């Protein structure tokens, strides 16, 4: 069974080549195809914090005055003595 490498990502090609070096071509292709099927069946977990941020901003969706800009914002916890809450910093073009 030959694997079409043109449909694989760079990381998948690296994994396939590493398997070929370590266990040989035939076993590597079998192991890789099983690994690829298992990866495709796994559903990525959603981030609960990101989901809560989306829920919090959902009310602003139709507001034309609320603009996140071209590069968006970075939200972090406040740092420093006696600080609490969050800090939002506008991302600038570098």
> Going residue by residue through the chain (94 aa), what tens digit of pLDDT does each one get?
678 888 899 999 999 999 999 999 999 999 999 999 988 877 778 889 889 989 999 999 889 898 888 999 999 999 988 889 999 999 999 8
Round to whole Å and give the CA distance between 14 and 5: 11
Residue 72 burial (C-beta neighbours within 10 Å; 0-12, 13-18, 19+): exposed
pLDDT of residue 1: 61
Round to whole Å and give the CA distance between 4 and 80: 53
């Amino acid at each position: 069974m030959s694997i079409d490498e043109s449909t694989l990502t760079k990381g998948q090609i690296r994994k396939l080549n590493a398997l070929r070096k370590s266990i040989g071509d035939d076993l590597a292709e079998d192991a890789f195809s099983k690994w690829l099927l298992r990866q495709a069946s796994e559903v990525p977990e959603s981030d609960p914090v990101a989901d809560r941020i989306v829920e919090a901003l959902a009310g602003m969706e139709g507001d034309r005055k609320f603009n996140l800009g071209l590069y968006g914002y970075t939200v972090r916890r406040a740092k420093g003595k006696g600080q609490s809450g969050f800090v939002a910093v506008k991302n600038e073009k570098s």
